[in-house]
Amino acid sequence: MIITRINLYAYNIPLKAPIAISLGTIDSARNILVEIQTSDGLTGWGEGSPFWMIVGETQASGMAAAQDMARLLLNRNPLDIEGCVTTLTRYLPGHVTTRSAFDMALYDLAAKAANMPLYQFLGGSRRSLVTDETIYINTPERMVDDALRIQANGGEAIKVKLGTSRVDDIRRVEAIRTAIGDTTPIRTDANQGWDVVTAQAVLRAIGGWNVQYCEQPIRRHDIAGLRQIRRCSPVPLMADESLFDATDAIRLVRDEAVDYFNIKLAKSGGIFDALAINAIAEASGIACMIGCMSESRLALTANAHFAAARQNVRFCDLDACFEHAIDPVQGGIVYRGYQIELSDAPGIGAEVDPAFLSRLETIAISSSTAL
């Protein structure tokens, strides 16, 4: 089996409303969709969500890079996942989100060739997965309304975006905790918005309010600062933007900087590298969360397969599609409230509606276009 053709799609999905974090605001999901076709008639699908403010990629830069990546994979054996991914990494080591879409499509193909659902192909089994839902930065009153809605819908954990100022962020968490009571855990995420002093002050203030953890309180490169915060914080710390690859994971473990890891396929370069990150975490006694950018249910399904396949993935933050105004995906995970159900269809088990695909900007790479 060889790769004969790769189709690239500018995969645009409107949002219900703009969403804001400390790093910026987005008004639509401008993703990249990769379709790999083979000589055996199998097709693999992958999706990347280039969140420019975190990964430094845009849809435009990703589509340009993807054309070169596609040419590198033509006529290769798609079952040689390590060889294919290594080739892409060596060629464009910085384009992690674009690479993750190819990686996902390769794993989809391999699992289909084995006639296994992806979680089984990865050596796992179906297990119960529960996602939280995210509240984005807004006034305390608006954030309380969202928290009450999530709680009324049966949410088992609420993720709260912070990272603006000490006073405002404490007020947000206090208002939410007062409104929803003490039982439902709150997960906070500052997206690098604080400095060390502010992080220490906020975490001390909210430490008694059943806050499960805080993601990325300070700038991604300040590992010494993370360690300093962790030493006195009543709230466990989780690395997100500080954790892109296995090298980052080793450094975070060595420096005892955090309590948890947030693995995102779009940030790590895909499943191949995410498996290495999780292995380092598991060997070091660090539990992981599987997170997301602004993916559709296609990539979220692949993320859920990864989580099901690795017991060390303790938390799920797979709610990106809740913000999408439309759902163009066929098959894939099903949400029963906040419970996530995987099917036993071979591969990822999700594709994009052909009618939706037909309206997207498309670039086809085959042997005739590779020259």
* C-alpha span between 136 and 149 (Å, rounded): 14
Name every residue whose Cβ is closer than 8 Å to that of residue 238 and which is 6 or more positions away in sequence.
213, 214, 215, 216, 258, 259, 260, 261, 262, 289
Across the range 355-370, mean pLDDT stands at 88
In degrees and rounded to multiples of 5, residue 185 shows phi and psi of: -65, 145
* C-alpha span between 134 and 143 (Å, rounded): 10
Position 24 confidence tier, pLDDT thresholds 50, 70, 90 = confident
CATH of domain 3-115+353-366: 3.30.390.10
pLDDT at 26 over 90: no
Q: 47: which strand partners?
A: 33
Convert the pLDDT of each residue in 299-320 to its tens digit: 999 999 999 999 999 999 999 9
Domains of the chain, by residue range, sit at: 3-115+353-366, 120-350
Question: Which pLDDT score, from 0 to 100, does residue 68 have?
Answer: 97
Q: Where is the binding site for Mg(2+), in residues?
A: 189, 215, 240
- Tokens 């990249």: give the residue: 32
Q: 20: which strand partners?
A: 25
Question: Which pLDDT score, from 0 to 100, does residue 23 have?
Answer: 77
Question: Which pLDDT score, from 0 to 100, does residue 227 have?
Answer: 98
Closest CA to 139 of 171, 114, 180: 171
List the structure tokens of 215: 């993601």
Question: Which pLDDT score, from 0 to 100, does residue 315 have?
Answer: 98
Closest CA to 43 of 351, 329, 345: 351
pLDDT at 182 over 50: yes
Question: Which pLDDT score, from 0 to 100, does residue 371 have?
Answer: 46
Convert the pLDDT of each residue in 28-86 to its tens digit: 899 999 999 999 999 999 999 998 778 889 999 999 999 999 999 999 999 999 999 99
Question: Which pLDDT score, from 0 to 100, does residue 25 have?
Answer: 82
pLDDT at 20 over 70: yes
Amino acid occupying residue 70 = A
Is the separation of the CB atoms in 32 and 47 below 8 Å?
yes
Closest CA to 209 of 243, 178, 240, 238: 178
Is the separation of the CB atoms in 232 and 197 below 8 Å?
no
Across the range 11-21, mean pLDDT stands at 90
193: left (phi over 0), alpha (psi -120 to 50) or beta: alpha
Amino acid occupying residue 366 = S
Across the range 93-98, mean pLDDT stands at 94
Measured at the CA of 12, the angle between CA 187 and CA 34, to 5 degrees, comes to 95
* C-alpha span between 236 and 185 (Å, rounded): 13
Is the separation of the CB atoms in 126 and 342 below 8 Å?
yes
Topology at the third CATH level for domain 120-350:
TIM Barrel (3.20.20)
Question: Which pLDDT score, from 0 to 100, does residue 210 have?
Answer: 97
Is the separation of the CB atoms in 337 and 153 below 8 Å?
yes
Convert the pLDDT of each residue in 214-260 to its tens digit: 999 999 999 999 999 999 999 999 999 999 999 999 999 999 999 99
User: Catalytic amino acids?
Assistant: 161, 264
Convert the pLDDT of each residue in 106-164 to its tens digit: 999 999 999 999 999 999 999 989 999 999 999 999 999 999 999 999 999 999 999 99
Model pTM above 0.85: yes
pLDDT at 328 over 80: yes
Name every residue whose Cβ is closer than 8 Å to that of residue 247 and which is 6 or more positions away in sequence.
none
Question: Which pLDDT score, from 0 to 100, does residue 369 have?
Answer: 65
Question: Which pLDDT score, from 0 to 100, does residue 370 have?
Answer: 52
pLDDT at 173 over 80: yes
